[in-house]
Copies of this chain bind each other. A is one copy, B any other.
Amino acid sequence: MKQVKIALLGLGNVGSGVWKILNFNKSEIFKHCGFEIEIKKILVNDINKKRYLDIPDGILTNNFCDILNDDSIEIVIEVMGGAYPALDYMIEAMKKKKHIVTANKLCIALHGDRLFETALKEKVFLYYEASVGGGIPIIKQINESLTANKIEKIVGIVNGTTNYILSNMTESNMSFDKALCLAKENGFAEFDPTDDIEGFDAAYKLSIMSSLSFEAPVHPNNILREGISNIRIKDINYAKKFGYVIKLLAIGTLKNNSIEVRVHPAFVPKNHPFASVKDSFNAVYLKGNAVGDLTIYGKGAGDLPTGSAIVSDLLSILRNNLNYCGINQARNLNNKYDILPSDEIESEYYIRLNVKDKPGIIGDIGTLLGENNISISLVTQDIQTKHQVDLIFLTQKCKEKSIKNFKEKINNYKNLNKLENIIRIENLNN
């Protein structure tokens, strides 16, 4: 019987999931890879912390060198998260010829070049299925199942925290602040939720998927990014009124010789399958020039779903008998596409303004929109108090630049109380 020794870096939520799966599904796993897998070491901060897993003595360590210098350990599973020291640990481990499986979207998105260069040089596997979409096998799908295709479009709901918050706002008419509190209470949001609610996490994931799909470098900094912290219950309700729900979307599109990449909240038609992706579920839509439309959805987070992706990566290495063959983790970033400047990105928009209750205002604003090349598809008003009116404009497709210009101008308009929100409308009809 073949045996392999591995180590985990980290034993939080995801690390515990990996531990559980390797123990509970032992026989399935053995049948699929022909190896008996021994977790020899687990790196943790505090060896003495109370844990709810039955881990034998001598496995936990707080010293990375116990893993790095143990030549019997052939595969390292990095589930500690964050850029440092995870990045250094992975690179050092690869230099010792250890294969890597990681769930670290931050490291792959921001430091992928260094990581893949090291893997290539050291001839070790570097797998990262769990970095995007939790249990959803999206990386393998792009990298292996759709190799016959030129991929033209990706649309994803890839952040569980924002989806949980937006689902609660939509279904329970909850304010953003209350929904965020609830997300924290239920373990769906971090103490500092910035990464999630401001769209950074989704941008890392879009960077990874776009780089792979379009085979060109897409740095997270080049992605147009807006979070959901400005979404109010009023926006949710107006969306409903017009037949939409609000979702945080990550969209990558190949257009001629440029790539359009953006992460932002958007109105999604309520009868579109993405509208029913609830709570911490994730969904990714891909359009390939041969396969056509392909959508996958499942649990985007959680110990066992994410652990499932990690262990399947581990088994991919074992099924190759730990023999490195570079082509299997192809990440060619050789295409010479430009990233479309954000000013050029086109969308339909929902614009909500609070204005004085006077005649002629719709006309004034309509004129201002027209002067900025923005055509209106719908306008409606909603009297709030004796002196205040909510005005909602839905626009036809226009450029981001036009909206920026309009924003500047409208803020000087004498009858405006407040420009409340501007949200893109994505009808997702490809």
Interface of A with B (CB < 8 Å)?
A: 17, 21, 24-25, 28-29, 31-34, 129, 135-137, 140-141, 144-150, 215, 271, 273, 276, 288-299, 302, 304-305, 307-312, 314-316, 319-321, 325, 327-328, 330, 332, 334
Contacts and interface: CB of A to CB of B under 8 A. Distances in A.
Nearest to A20: B290
B32 A316 contact: no
Given A137-B141, A145-B140, A31 B330 contact: yes
Nearest to A294: B298
Contacts of A315: 144, 147-148
A325 B317 CA distance: 13
Contacts of A293: 298-299
A14 to B, nearest CB: 12
Contacts of A302: 292
Contact of A295 (B32, B292, B298): B298
A335 B247 CA distance: 43
Contacts of A29: 147-148
A334 B29 CA distance: 14
Contacts of A21: 148, 290
A17 B288 CA distance: 14
9 contacts: A141-B141, A144-B316, A147-B315, A148-B307, A288-B308, A291-B299, A293-B299, A295-B297, A319-B327
Given A33-B327, A273-B276, A291-B135, A312 B144 contact: yes
B215 A31 contact: yes
A43 to B, nearest CB: 21
A276 B145 CA distance: 24
A135 B292 contact: yes
Given A320-B325, A332-B31, A25 B271 contact: no
Contacts of A297: 273, 294-296
Contacts of A288: 135, 308
A39 to B, nearest CB: 14
A65 to B, nearest CB: 29
List the 3 closest pairs (A to B, CB-CB), nearest first: A148-B311, A137-B145, A294-B298
A145 B138 CA distance: 9
B305 A33 contact: no
Given A147-B28, A276-B271, A320-B325, A298 B308 contact: no
B140 A312 contact: no
A297 B320 CA distance: 29
A40 B82 CA distance: 51
A219 B148 CA distance: 31
Contacts of A295: 296-298
A68 to B, nearest CB: 26
Given A145-B140, A312-B147, A325-B319, A135 B31 contact: no
Given A273-B276, A325-B319, A149 B292 contact: no
Given A135-B294, A140-B144, A145-B309, 16 more contacts: A17-B290, A21-B290, A25-B149, A28-B147, A32-B327, A129-B145, A135-B292, A137-B141, A148-B314, A288-B308, A291-B298, A292-B298, A292-B305, A293-B298, A295-B296, A319-B330
Contacts of A305: 290-292
A21 B288 CA distance: 11
A304 B327 contact: no
A328 B332 contact: no
A335 to B, nearest CB: 9
Nearest to A292: B299
B330 A147 contact: no
Contacts of A334: 31
A73 to B, nearest CB: 20
Contacts of A328: 319
A308 B271 contact: no
Nearest to A288: B308
Contacts of A304: 289-292
Contacts of A311: 147-148, 290
Contacts of A321: 325, 327
